[in-house]
Amino acid sequence: MLWDALTLQLGYNATLVTLGAMMLGVGAGATGTYLYLGKRALVSDAISHATLPGVVLGFMVMVALGGEGRFLPGLMLGAALSAGLGLLAVTGLTTRTRLHEDAAIGAVLSVFFGFGVVLLTVVQVMDAGRQAGLETFLLGATAGMLRDEALTIAAGGAVVLALVRLLHRPMILVAFDPEYAVGQGMRLARVDLAMMGLALAITVTGLKVVGLVLIVALLIIPPVAARFWSERAGHVVMIAGAIGGVAGYLGAAVSATAPDLPTGPLIVLAAFALFVLSLLMAPGRGVLAAALRHLRFQRRVHLRQGLLALAAGQPVYEPLTLRLMRRAGLARADGVATDTGRAMAARARLDERRWQILRSDPAFEAAAARYDGLTPLDEVLTGDQIAALDRGLGPEGAV
């Protein structure tokens, strides 16, 4: 069953829904990258919670007009309007008062969401029959989703992706250095509006699949995970899109295997799994790689310090240093240097003395900047340069 779901063999509708969720994930991951890099990620949380009153009001209006209350584009329009209002409220509070953005987000998010929940309760009392399903907008559900709805969601994701491609340059520049962007003649308010507008579009598109409580996860987790893998903004956008897409695909497919599995939470869990994988395994910024690098560096420092101590005829006290030197065959268990240890110690001492001379000679200013106590001099200077340096080297012990 799970395998069938993952290989898209649960029927035409389930396949469409899974592909739609994937498209949504790609769009959300890419869009979220600009928010994350511009340190504006939480604005999307305010946007998504502010959709609830719009969804319910949209439903009420469509029912009042005698239509089908659950018509998805109508609900999405309502969601977009109230989310836009919430966004305006956050922007207004931040620019016109001395409130910081986090406080404005907290206020707007809770008020809009509270109002939405009240409306939802009212609808439930009013007409118990037809409202069934509105609460699925909270956590997302794909069970029983229609073909047109899946196509709408996929199209929404694709449109957002195209806009992201178009606006990539200004959005990255503003995220990195807004002052310089203005100096280049960019209208900050417009770029900001575009960025937030894209987040809003993705939120509204994803309401049905992921739900408004969790859509923020699909915007934030993929870029945060992607950041572990790359040092280039453009690549982070693409990797975040890929991670979001995989999460959307996996979550929607798994939720299709049983009738009551909520789609949103499954997508978020899939994204989280990819995040943990990135956190641990990514080269460079990953936790394991960083720990490994730290251990290697620590070993180098201890060995060098130990060798310099040996060369100066001082005892090595630190147990870790001793243990590392013993393991490297430089010292015996009682701390006495082996032949190799003595030879290496002499070399370390010579290296250090050469460095001392180099650092006091203004002619070597550039090379001296590379002194860190660890780098062997022959990685910095050529043999000839070292030979020239050695002429300044006094008799042994004259340092």
Partner 1 sequence: MSMALELVGRATAPDTDSPLSIRGLTVSYGEKPAVFSVDVSFRPGQMTAIVGPNGAGKSTLLKAALGIIRPLSGQITSYGRPLHEGRARIAYVPQRASVDWDFPARVLDVVMMGLTRELGLLGRVRASHRARATACLDRVGMAGFAHRQIGQLSGGQQQRVFLARALAQEADLYLLDEPFAGVDAATEKAIIAVLHGLRAEGKTVIAVHHDLATVAEYFDRVFLINTTAIAEGPVAEVFTPSHLQTAYGGRLALAQMGGAAAG
The binding site for partner 1 (CB under 8 A) comprises 37, 39, 166-167, 169-170, 173, 175-177, 179-186, 227, 230-233, 235-236, 365-366
Quick one: tokens of 117?
């929940």
Whether residue 234 contacts residue 37, with contact meaning beta carbons closer than 8 Å, is answered with: no
Bridge partners of residue 337, in order along the sequence: 331
Minimum distance, C-beta of residue 97 to partner 1, in the bound complex (Å)? 12
Pick between residue 61 and residue 173 the one whose CB is nearest to partner 1: 173
Which long-range contacts link 1-5 to residues 24+ away (Cβ below 8 Å)?
1/257, 2/254, 2/257, 4/257, 5/253, 5/254, 5/256, 5/257
Taking the least distance from each CB to partner 1, the nearer of 190 and 323 is: 190
Compare residues 170 and 241 and give the one whose CB is closer to partner 1: 170
Other CB atoms within 10 Å distance of the CB of residue 332:
13
Nearest to 271 by CA among 37, 15, 32: 32
In the bound complex, what is the minimum distance in angstroms from residue 134's beta carbon to partner 1? Answer: 39
Query: Nearer Cβ to partner 1, position 143 or 368?
Result: 368
Residues in the chain: 399
Phi, psi of 193 (to 5 degrees): -60, -40
- Cβ atoms of 79 and 59 within 8 Å: the answer is no
State in angstroms the smallest separation of the CB of 216 from partner 1: 21
Report the residue number, 318 or 365, with the smaller CB distance to partner 1: 365
What minimum distance in Å lies between the beta carbon of 91 and partner 1? 16
At 337, give phi and psi (nearest 5°).
-70, 145
At 229, give phi and psi (nearest 5°).
-95, -15
SS3 of residue 313 by DSSP: coil
Q: How far is the CB of 99 from partner 1 (least distance, A)?
A: 15
Q: Do residues 191 and 170 touch, judged by C-beta distance below 8 A?
A: yes
Task: Compare residues 223 and 265 and give the one whose CB is closer to partner 1.
Answer: 223
Q: Which helix (H) or strand (E) holds 204?
A: helix 188-210
Nearest residue to 267 via CA among 141, 394, 382, 175: 141
* CB of 228 vs partner 1, minimal distance in Å: 10
Nearer to partner 1, 231 or 260 (CB): 231
CB of 119 to partner 1, least distance (A): 39
